[in-house]
Structures are given as C-alpha cells and as structure tokens.
Structure 1
Amino acid sequence: MDELPAFRNKLVAALNWMLETLAMLVMAGLASLVFLNAFSRYALSTPLPWAEEIAINLMVWLTALGIMMAGMRQSLICCDIVTGRLSTGRLRLVAGFCAVLGSAAMFYCAWLAWQYLMIFGSDASPVLRLPKGIVIAGLFFALLGLATTLLVPLFKRK
C-alpha cells in the first residue's frame, strides 16, 4: 500500500522538474533573444525583424508552463477570506465544487482552442512564415494542463 503514494510522489516530482527545466530553458531563450535584439537595434542599428515573432511564441509557451506549475503546486489565486471561515466539511465541499467547475470550464476552453487550432493553425506568420499553430498550441496545452491540475486535489487524501 505504501508503494502507490511513493510512486505518485516521484511522478509528481519528475513532472515538476520537467516543467521547471522547460520553463528555465524557455525563459533563458526569451531573455537572450530580447537582449540580442536590443543589442542589434541600438549597437548595430539593425534590428532583427524575426525576433518579435519568436519572442511572442516563447512568451505564450512560458505562460503555459507557468500556469501548469502553479496548478500542480496549488498556488493559484483563491479567496481565503471566504474559505478561511468555512468548517472543514464545507471547505472540502466548496473546494471540490470549485475544482470540478473550474476544470470543466478549462476543458471547454481547451476544446475551443483545439477547434481554433484546427482552423487557423496552418496560417503562416508574416516574417518567418511559422505556423500560427505554435502559439495556439501553447494556449491549448496551458488550458489542458490547468484543467487537469485543478482536479488533483480531488484525489488527495487528507
């Protein structure tokens, strides 16, 4: 019986490490790109016209990773003023209701993002001609990841 919680903890730790590592790499790439563009613009008087498109893509994916990490850590904004006054039983009921309702809303938005991706994902960006699906997929994965992590508290024993 003790093996399942230990495996679950290792799985969550591995997923957190993966998300943190990806977020650090994306953030480093974004910071380097913005610095390189600023240097090129002001020191060499030749801005990089493609840098903005890459920066937008990286920013969306960084936000997607960040929202998934916040959901995994259960550190999203909540209303402690109201929940702090509830008894344990009512708090579990309200938390469960909010988890299911919030997750359903995020799954619905992810479904809408998926439809949008299927319609406009192959459109090309103006400078690099990258598929706009790169940005839309970031939004889709952010919504899907958040919808999934909102359900995690329902399966924790207290």
Structure 2
Amino acid sequence: MAEETELAATDFEMSPPPAGRFSKGLNFVLENLAMALMAILTLLVFANAFSRYAFSAPLPWTEEAVTYLLVWLAAVGIIIAGLRQTLICCDIVTYRLRPGPQRIVATFCALLGSATMFYCAWLTWQYLQIFGSDLSPVLRIPKGVLISALLVALLGLAVTLLVPLFRRK
C-alpha cells in the first residue's frame, strides 16, 4: 500500500505555467496577487482569533473582510488554473478518440464552455447593476466588490478556455 502511495505521488506532475511572454507576465501578477490575498486573509484570521482569546474582544469586521478576500482569492485561483490548463476535466471518451476527432471535440467543448462562462458573466453583470451598490452590514463596502470577483472569475475562465484553440502544437 505504501509503495502504491509513493508511486502515485511521484507520478503527479504540476502543470507548468503558461509559455508565452504575456501569459508568463499575467501568471506572475496573478500568483503574487493570490499570495498577497492569502497573506492578508491569514493575518486577519489570526488577529481575530488572537483578539478573541487574548482580550475577549473579537474583531467582528474581520469576518466580513475575510469573506470578501476569500471570494477574490478563489477568483484569482480559478484564472490561474485556467491559464495552466489544470481545471478538472473528464476525458473518459476523448482519450479513446483519434487525434482528429479529439481536436473537434476539444474545440466544441472549449467553445461551449467559454460561451457558457460569457453568458454567466453577462448575468452577473446584470446582477451587479441591480445589487452592486448595496452596502455590507459591518464594513459598509459596496457588495459590488464581492460580486465583481465572480464577474472577473467568469470572464477570466471564459478567456482561458479559448486559449488552447490558439496555441500552436
């Protein structure tokens, strides 16, 4: 059993960052943004826990701030995963196809997936127009800041789904 686990661990490979110059720069910016968001999120959670248990005075605003940061962190993370082409996929059918039909199915899936993401982004944009100016209860930050994370994630994912169609093989 231990040998199987060890073997499985060595077979796992991280997908390399994107190869193009623009993609590398974008990947660098997104990774650093994700690290900064994670660091701030960690500090806020620690500060709240420390304040709660050391001084019996929790910082209620940190919960709301952490929620906002976590949504933005997820948005950045999904774009990074899309750029690296490491999103979860099910290739039970496609791996059995010859290269020609495989490309056709991959192209169809990329176009359909991207169109779906663009449509969801459009719906999110409409939602943002209606509810984006509502204020959060504690920090009084417009909810548009939170909703915008979903919009950015959907647009980023829609674009990254199309990237393989334009890569030369």
Distance 2:27 2:94 in 1: 27
Tell me, what secondary structure is at the counterpart of 1:52?
Answer: helix
Q: Distance in 1 between matches of 2:93 and 2:81?
A: 21
Is 1:144 aligned with 2:155?
Answer: yes
In structure 1, distance between residues paired with 2:122 and 2:85:
23
**Amino acid in structure 2 at the alignment position of 1:57:** Y
Cα deviation, residue 123, structure 1 = 0.3
Aligned length: 151
Aligned letter for 2:120? C
Identity %: 66
Amino acid at match of 1:37: N
1:155 equivalenced with 2:166 (yes/no):
yes
Match of 2:4 in 1: none
Within 2, Cα distance between the matches of 1:31 and 1:43? Answer: 18
Give ranges in structure 1 of 5+ residues lacking alignment.
1-7
Question: Aligned residue for 1:79?
Answer: 90
Deviation at 1:80, TM superposition (A): 2.6
Structure-2 separation of matches of 1:84 and 1:105: 24
Q: Which amino acid aligns with 1:111?
A: W
Aligned CA RMSD, in angstroms, stands at 0.9
TM norm structure 2? 0.87
| 1:68 and 2:68 matched | no
Counterpart of 1:39 in structure 2 is 50
Q: Give the AA of the match of 2:166.
A: F
Instruction: Report the Cα offset of residue 90 of structure 1.
Output: 1.0
Aligned residue for 1:114? 125
Q: Distance in 2 between matches of 1:32 and 1:83?
A: 44
Query: Deviation above 4 Å: which 4+ runs of structure 1?
Result: none
Q: How far 1:119 sits from its partner (Å)?
A: 0.6
Instruction: State the distance in 1 between where 2:32 and 2:126 align.
Output: 29
Q: State the partner residue of 1:3.
A: none
User: Secondary structure at 1:42's aligned position in 2?
Assistant: helix
User: Match for residue 54 of structure 1?
Assistant: 65
